[in-house]
Structure 1
Amino acid sequence: MSVAPTNADLAVDQLPAAPGGPAADSPRRFNLNLRQSGIYIAFALIVLLFTVLTGGDLLQPQNISNIIVQHSYILILAIGMILVIIAGHIDLSVGSVVAACGAVAAVLMVDHNMSWPLALVITLVVGGLIGAWQGYWVAYFGIPAFIVTLAGMLLFRALTLTVLGNRGIGPFPDEVRTLSNGFTEGYLGNIGLGVLGGADLFSLLIGVIGVGGIVLTQWRTRSARLRYNQAVDPLPLFIARIALASFLVMAVIVQLARFKNLPWVLILLAFLILGYSMLTNRAVFGRQIYAVGGNLQAAMLSGVKVKSVVFWIFVNMGVLAALAGVIFAGRLNQANPQAGDQFELDAIAAAFIGGAAVQGGVGKVVGAITGGLIMAVLNNGMSLIGAETEQVMLVKGAVLLAAVAFDVWSKRRAAASR
């Protein structure tokens, strides 16, 4: 099976060992891939810029918490959208699906007093059925995803209006509001952090566990590359990179622990990011998604069931859109007909800014999350400096165009260098 060159590490355990020497003799060199690393550099620069422009308010504990809570549904959508785009498709209907599934959840929980766990499961099933409906037309009937999901944008917005009767429904149960807006309790009490004040010990321990997971995952990836004689960064550079990532994660956790502890939605996002990263990096289905988007004909000749893969990525998108719909409705404590307006644009922008390729076959879950965070910081930072709505839209559009232009430029540059 062939996969895109920038994701070769996804199939590292399928590669044969290179002949002629042990892994220790493999070349080790510094190779900064701007296509992969540029997004993180850009994110750091944007955070630094708005930190200066806002006088440090951007990085205040409460504001960091607000960024995560207020944009969590976009990050959830970005996870599903990156898989759709990697496979070479697009989904324009996710905003309407968010609204429709939020409406379904409201009718079940509020109008019919159904227990929230059962209502949540039913809502996710409804989202999956919506994804299956669209996936069928794309995968098995052969209609382009652009057309199918454009029709879905209208169909499911109409469904939202029908379900809600053009009215808002609320309030939601306390458990749903807690998942959307709530924070973990101070289970182990607070500890002193010197000039930073106090912070929740439980949140700090979660951060330490998260950092440990990052270190372990990166070390295993490096070791796998060495076993197959692939080029890796020099050990000092590798350690420096991991140390920087660990520092940034702990810095965010400390700020959250100083405010109201960890948002529950952040914990949900952490599980989603971990699960989908493992899916794309380790699972056969994840590699098949890259194969379909990278070279459709080669994927078919390799025995990949292309129609099935495409069908299931749309089912997955529907389920994640349903989850985002419940989170968004719970945050507002109401399902309303205008919910999800232009969410599809933010999710698509997050995927492309995060490194997805226009032609498909390239992209990472972490990159999509980073792209979503860039959009969140832009929204939040420009709000803090009092920018007008049209200015925010102008900057977001320019950033999206720049990201896609960079992708096209980097491909042309790589083709010219061969």
Structure 2
Amino acid sequence: MTRTEPEPAVAESAPAAALHAGTSDPRTLIMRNLRQSGIYIAFVAIVALFTVLTNGVLLSPGNITNIVLQYSYILVLAIGMVILIIAGHIDLSVGSIVALTGAVSAVLVIQNDQPWAVGALAAVAVGIAVGAWHGFWVAYVGMPAFIVTLAGMLLFRGLTLQVLDNVSLSPFPPEYQKVAGGFLNGLLGGQGYDAFTLLIAGIAVAGYTVSVFRTRLARIRYEQPVESFPLFVARVLLVAAVVMYFAWQLAHARGLPIVLIVLAVLVLAYGLMTKSSVFGRQVYAIGGNLSAAMLSGVKVRKVNFWIFVNMGFLAGVAGVIYSSRSNGAQPAAGNMFELDAIAAAFIGGAAVAGGVGTVVGAVVGGLIMAVMSNGMQLMGVEQSTQSIVKGLVLLLAVAFDIYNKRRAGTTR
């Protein structure tokens, strides 16, 4: 008998591998990615539910625009909050910082007749200073973030009352109001719709598709498990359909909100930072295993300091957006905002113990809260019932995180 030599294996190109790659254990892969993929399914399901319950009013062009305008500052806060939670910290003072930064801006612009940009920049600068204050106590003194920011919640609420002298200030000039209430429309025309809004949405979908495909290729290159290609395509098409429908509704209302552009830039920048930068990987390392991060040479104090500075910066941005939206500054502004931001992060997939979470997930979690609040308001549900529902959703999200951890522990 003659021996037949085996034919040499032909290496498959990366794009071809991306088409055919899967996992030998689909159940394991599904369970591993359920927390990240499930949030998008849950979002679509909640939108569909409230669309039916409100007879389609939820997805009307005008209402979608209102959702963007009314909850944009919560989404900005959620971006900073999820980064803190990934690192194993939390910030209970962001609502008070929003109030303080808005008050500083109002005093400069309304009382002292300064240009609107001066007020906005001063608000952001105050937010950064507050973040540095918190970062110092947490990173260099070693106090728990819970205690530091709880004290900050009281401290900066009191400073807000002093800055405003216990009275509300309004109105802001029209230029300042456009930060949260302005629109870009008519730049490319369109018959009954704004073509510019659709163009921007199309570019965003194309960028998202390229990004997730490159991520898939990278995971395959490092022999990490990925979902099957049909499931991957279905996920991309679902995201594209949701984004384009959302844009189509905006295009038939007042066009592209300026605040949505601000939010998109922040999501893109922080998404890249957390996924592709050394600093982002260090944040995950600190939250995942502090001792290992220190042994690996991560400068834990420095990273902790800057993530609180970043939270202050985003709280300042949110303060400008909120004061622009409300067209004034009030002593009680920002009340309970910290709880909304924390809920958005946890519902979006952040883990209680740290080390897990994404910026996009936190934004989707914030959108889920926004859709639920808006939908219940359209249905005429009482405020007390709305609080009960949101509290239960947060509780279930955290319970799901704990269940996943216990399940993972038993399967190792």
TM-score (norm 1): 0.92
Match of 1:140, SS state, is helix
- 2:205 counterpart letter in structure 1: V
Match of 2:55, SS state, is coil
Structure 1 match to 2:410:
416
Structure 1 match to 2:216:
222
After TM superposition, list the pairs within 5 Å mapping 1:20-169 onto structure 2.
24=17, 28-29=22-23, 30=26, 31-32=29-30, 33-169=33-169
- RMSD across aligned positions (CA): 1.5
Q: Which has the larger radius of gyration?
A: 2
- 1:211 counterpart letter in structure 2: V
**CA–CA distance in structure 2, aligned partners of residues 42 and 219 of structure 1:** 23
Structure 1 match to 2:363:
369
**CA–CA distance in structure 1, aligned partners of residues 48 and 234 of structure 2:** 20
Residue 362 of structure 2 corresponds to residue 379 of structure 1: no
Structure 1 match to 2:396:
402
Q: Deviations over 1:244-299 (max 9, x none)?
A: 11111000000000000011100110000000000001010000000000000000
Is residue 127–residue 318 contact of structure 1 (8 Å, CA) maintained in 2?
yes
After TM superposition, list the pairs within 5 Å mapping 1:222-241 onto structure 2.
222-241=216-235
After TM superposition, list the pairs within 5 Å mapping 1:171-320 onto structure 2.
171-191=171-191, 198-320=192-314
1:215 shift after superposition: 0.8
- 2:314 counterpart letter in structure 1: L
**CA–CA distance in structure 2, aligned partners of residues 21 and 243 of structure 1:** 29
Q: Deviations over 1:320-375 (max 9, x none)?
A: 11111111111111101010000000000000010000000000000000110011
Q: Select the residue among 318, 324, 343 that pairs with 2:337.
A: 343
Is residue 99–residue 157 contact of structure 2 (8 Å, CA) maintained in 1?
yes
User: Unpaired runs of 5+ in structure 1?
Assistant: 1-19, 192-197
The list of structure 1 runs, each at least 4 consecutive aligned residues, that deviate by more than 3 angstroms after superposition, is 20-27
TM-score (norm 2): 0.93
Is residue 104–residue 163 contact of structure 1 (8 Å, CA) maintained in 2?
yes
1:237 shift after superposition: 2.3
1:234 shift after superposition: 2.6
Match of 2:141, SS state, is coil
After TM superposition, list the pairs within 5 Å mapping 1:323-342 onto structure 2.
323-342=317-336
Structure 2 match to 1:14:
none
1:183 shift after superposition: 1.1
Is residue 170–residue 334 contact of structure 1 (8 Å, CA) maintained in 2?
yes
Match of 2:334, SS state, is coil
Greater displacement, 149-158 / 216-225: 216-225
1:152 shift after superposition: 0.4
Is residue 88–residue 286 contact of structure 2 (8 Å, CA) maintained in 1?
yes
Match of 2:183, SS state, is coil
- 1:247 counterpart letter in structure 2: A
**CA–CA distance in structure 1, aligned partners of residues 290 and 381 of structure 2:** 44
Q: Deviations over 1:211-244 (max 9, x none)?
A: 1111111111111122222222232222222111
Q: Deviations over 1:43-91 (max 9, x none)?
A: 1111111111111111111111111100011000000000010000010
Match of 1:78, SS state, is helix
**CA–CA distance in structure 2, aligned partners of residues 41 and 153 of structure 1:** 35
**CA–CA distance in structure 2, aligned partners of residues 21 and 189 of structure 1:** 50
- 2:288 counterpart letter in structure 1: G
Is residue 179–residue 265 contact of structure 1 (8 Å, CA) maintained in 2?
yes
- 1:290 counterpart letter in structure 2: Y
Q: Specify whether residues 21 and 147 from structure 1 end up closer, same or farther in structure 2 by C-alpha distance, changes over 3 A only.
A: farther
Match of 1:71, SS state, is helix
User: Unpaired runs of 5+ in structure 2?
Assistant: 1-9
Is residue 27–residue 230 contact of structure 1 (8 Å, CA) maintained in 2?
no
Percent identity between the two aligned chains: 60
**CA–CA distance in structure 2, aligned partners of residues 313 and 166 of structure 1:** 31
Is residue 176–residue 327 contact of structure 1 (8 Å, CA) maintained in 2?
no
- 1:98 counterpart letter in structure 2: V
- 1:116 counterpart letter in structure 2: W
**CA–CA distance in structure 2, aligned partners of residues 171 and 27 of structure 1:** 58
Is residue 73–residue 324 contact of structure 1 (8 Å, CA) maintained in 2?
yes
**CA–CA distance in structure 2, aligned partners of residues 59 and 249 of structure 1:** 13
Is residue 27–residue 229 contact of structure 1 (8 Å, CA) maintained in 2?
no
